[in-house]
Amino acid sequence: MSDPFVEVITESDLQRRVSQLGAEIADDYQTTVPVVVGVLKGSIPFLADLVRAIDSTLQVDFLSLTRFGEEGRVSIAMDVSVPLRGRDVIIVEDIVDTGLTLTALHRMLMLREPNSLQTVTLLDKAPRRIVDIDLAYRGFEIGDEFLLGYGLDWGGHYRNLRSLWAVMDLGAFADDPHRFTEVVHPSAGGAFLRR
Ligand code: 5GP
């Protein structure tokens, strides 16, 4: 039987790629102080590593979104703490899937008249894209598998994993998430908060 969980991007591969992205961004924003805006909560590990790989002056901020239904309608639940007018803004996403969330966020932030608005995403699930969007920086292009770790969650769990894992059978996983907990936290007693 094939493995139900596969480590698809290791910690060292993540760190290597994030360092490259940071160097690229530092190069592109030499003459300005960008606002790096993390979309909570999935972007946290990526953003924390990314900003430390950008060897130039920047500001860090966060926002969080509420999603409604399947059509990609979103509203800002928690807003950034600085005005974005005239600023060079970099949105930090963990993953872009259909692209609906990012499209809606982009539209909302453009109303604030930033000088520029770009996106860096760690993961680009390009085969699932519904709307065309411009990603200035992306870490890895991936397929259709469901991933966990390094910010990506299931019911709030597993964001703290240092690497990225693919769940091969989502149905079986949802029935018994304990099996994954035992794989990734073998010495932790398998504690899991039931939903
Ligand atoms: P979309 O681009 O479809 O509007 O939505 C992106 C959101 O879908 C992400 O922020 C994330 O919450 C969720 N998502 C998409 N693919 C995955 C995945 O493979 N794993 C996890 N944990 N969440 C995903």
Atom of ligand 1 nearest to the CA of 101: 4
Which active-site residues does the annotation give? 97
3 CA distance to ligand 1 centroid (A)? Answer: 23
Every domain of the chain and the residues it spans: 5-194
Please check whether residue 122 is in contact with residue 105, taking contact to mean a CB–CB distance below 8 angstroms: no
Helix (H) or strand (E) holding 8: strand 5-9
- The band of 178, judged by pLDDT with boundaries at 50, 70 and 90, is confident
Q: What is the CATH number of domain 5-194?
A: 3.40.50.2020
Assess whether pLDDT exceeds 70 at residue 195.
no
Residue that has been written with the tokens 């430390």 in this structure: 52
At 81, list the tokens: 């703490």
Atom of ligand 1 nearest to the CA of 158: 22
Ligand 1-lining residues (CB < 6 angstroms): 42, 72, 94-102, 125, 146-148, 152-154
- pTM, two decimals, is 0.94
Tell me the average pLDDT across 104-128.
97
